Amino acid sequence: MDLLWFLSALSVFTLQERAGTGAMTLKSVLLRQLRPGGGASACSPAQHSRRRRSWVWNQFFVLEEFTGNDPLYVGKLHSDVDKGDGQVRYVLTGEGAASIFSIDESTGDIHATRRLDREQQAYYTLRAQARNRDTNRLVEPESQFIIKVQDVNDNEPKFLDGPYTARVAERSPVGTSVVTVVATDADDPTYGNSARLMYSILQGQPYFSVEPKTGVVRTALPDLDREVRDSHLLVVQAKDMIGQIGGLSGSTSVTVILTDVNDNPPHFPRRSYQFSVRESELVSTVVAKIRAVDPDEGPNAELDYRILDGDGLGTFSITTDSHTQEGLITLHKNLDFETKSSYMLRVEASNLYVDARFLSSGPFSDVATVRLLVQNVDEPPVFHSSVSWMMVSEAAAVGTEVGSVLARDPDATNSPIRYSIDRQSNLERYFHIDSGTGVITTAQPLDRETVAVHNITVVATERLDPSLTGKAVVLISVTDVNDNPPSLAIHYDTFVCENSEPGQIVQTLSAVDRDEPEEGQHFLFSLSEAGQNLSFTLRDNKDNTASILTRPGGFLQRDQLLHLLPVVISDSSRPPLSSTNTLSITVCTCDAAGEPRSCRQGAPLLLLVLWW
């Protein structure tokens, strides 16, 4: 015998109708006869009902959020085996059986005993049994069915990503997309209009609009100006039920920040500026600052300054301070109040980056006039030359005039000047200067070989204001005179072997002279009359060297161990100077290669080598 399912949905329909869900109307009991294979009888009333109302036989519906005091009737289970004599017992198992759903064992009536929430669980899967009350055996095959929780509009839309922050360029065309806001509704999107949303702006008009279906926020005015207002706070609402009366709503805020475009040219707050500059200012000093105003920001407010024309074009230059965007007027040449007391410049400030869309509104630059007044300063004395070269002979007598310096007061007062030599540069007081004329003379004998160049500092002081001083460097070169005779370059330790051949060179001599003649040194070598030695002779090589050679006759230690040879060296100056230098030559016994073995009676070779 088949198990019959009776779905009583009249109470469900009534609740749905009151809730306005637009659910299917069920005013009659739906009956379907099941067969073991899951098929239905062709003449089943349930089949006829399903065709007419598109109803699925194995699915019950129960309205969520029901708040009545009594259990909510869901439906009825009934088997045609049941004759009404109480022998058939109905059993319900599965999700929520006993805890949420109860069944009357005798009648098969199913009730919901608790309030249901579709957003927590949308459907429940249960199994139905019909058993013999006495034997507890199944009188029908067990069947599975679903109780679906029918949605009601009990959840308002929520903006899970809000609040929003968006950016859009100022002056953007109407309809420019700013941001897309998205709201979600936990109600069933497949049933009714509970989750069908409509967007609108509660705050932010007339500057912005929102597309009702997509939530895309767009600009609504063409002249959004960041310099007037740099941000806007919007409130966007999402309402379910397609915005109809009675729908639930939620809202979020959108902070729209207007980003800058270069739509404003720079301008000077004043048409002309005037500054004072001391004539003593150093070159490369910033002497004035001007600033054009640009209400834009960032790169759009970066400025470039340049001097267009004016009589100060070559005397001053202008650059841009990258941090403050000021024009820095810098001194390019030294100033002199007595020569020129004022300068005029015409300065332009322009944007580095220009947006071509706004060029039609006019040039993105401005021009101002800058006047620079030179202030007179009581300046210190100025020398005709900051460095002077002078020459004096080392043979000059004390009081000899070396040269003179000249300084002047550059101011109109033309104060008289007093000269002096800085003591630190003239510690040994070689020179003296006349305080009135600036003439420099020698104060003691000079020696070029001791100091070849004297570096002294001359000080010029204004007599009317001794605090104002100027300085100059004087380099005095001492010229040479022939006052030093030449001499041997080094101390020579010379030896000769006992078995030396005649004409053998035993030593080559060179000389030095502390003087420095203009044509260079030329030395003459000779033996003095007292030094005419029968054992050695001297040969002048004509290249500022001379060679000592052996004469015939040989040498014996036992006869003479040491020979002293007086050598005369003369320079080529007029008059020439000369000196006599004694060369010591020791007689040694040598091996076949000419290497000394012993240079004195009984002296070992090692001592000779160390001494030599």
- What average pLDDT does the segment 287-305 reach? 95
Average pLDDT, the chain: 84
Residue 45, φ and ψ in degrees, nearest 5: -60, -30
List CB contacts of 288: < 8 A, sequence separation 6 or more.
Answer: 273, 275, 277, 328, 329, 370, 372
Distance CA 146, CA 144 (A): 7
33: exposed, middle or buried (C-beta count within 10 Å: 0-12, 13-18, 19+)? buried
Q: Angle 565-569-575 (CA atoms, 0-180°, nearest 5)?
A: 145
**Alpha-carbon gap, residue 173 to 336, rounded angstroms:** 58
Q: Give dist(CA 40, CA 49) in Å, integer.
A: 12
Residue 407 in 3-state DSSP?
strand
Asked if 208 contacts 201 with a C-beta cutoff of 8 angstroms, the reply is: yes
**For tokens 């065309």, what's the residue?**
173
| Residue 430 near residue 469 (C-beta atoms within 8 A) | no
pLDDT value at 34 more than 90:
no
Report the C-alpha gap between 557 and 386 in whole angstroms: 70
The confidence score (pLDDT) of residue 217 equals 97
Q: Are 289 and 199 in contact (CB under 8 A)?
A: no
From start to end of 86-215, where are the E strands? Answer: 88-94, 101-103, 109-112, 123-132, 143-150, 164-169, 177-180, 198-203, 208-210
pLDDT digit string, tens, across residues 56-106: 345 788 877 777 788 888 888 888 888 888 899 999 999 989 899 999 998
Q: Give the pLDDT of residue 508.
A: 95
Please, how many CA atoms are within 13 Å of residue 394, restricted to the half-sphere of its CB?
18
Confidence (pLDDT) at 320: 96
Per residue in 571-603, pLDDT tens?
988 889 999 999 999 999 998 888 888 887 444
Cβ atoms of residues 419 and 436 within 8 Å: yes
What confidence score (pLDDT) does residue 6 get? Answer: 38
Instruction: Please tell me the predicted confidence (pLDDT) of residue 593.
Output: 82
- Please state the rounded mean pLDDT for residues 140-165: 89
Q: Which two tokens stand for residue 214?
A: 């997509």
* Residue showing tokens 């420099």: 440
Question: pLDDT tens digits, residue range 208-224?
Answer: 999 999 999 999 998 89
Pairing, β 365-375 against β 342-351: antiparallel
Closest by alpha carbon to 181, among 210, 207, 206, 156?
210
Least confident of 154-168, 210-224, 348-362: 348-362
Tell me the whole-structure pTM to 2 decimals: 0.52
Contact 364, 265 (CB under 8 A): yes
Q: How far apart are CA 126 and CA 148, in angstroms?
A: 11
3-state secondary structure (DSSP) of residue 514: coil
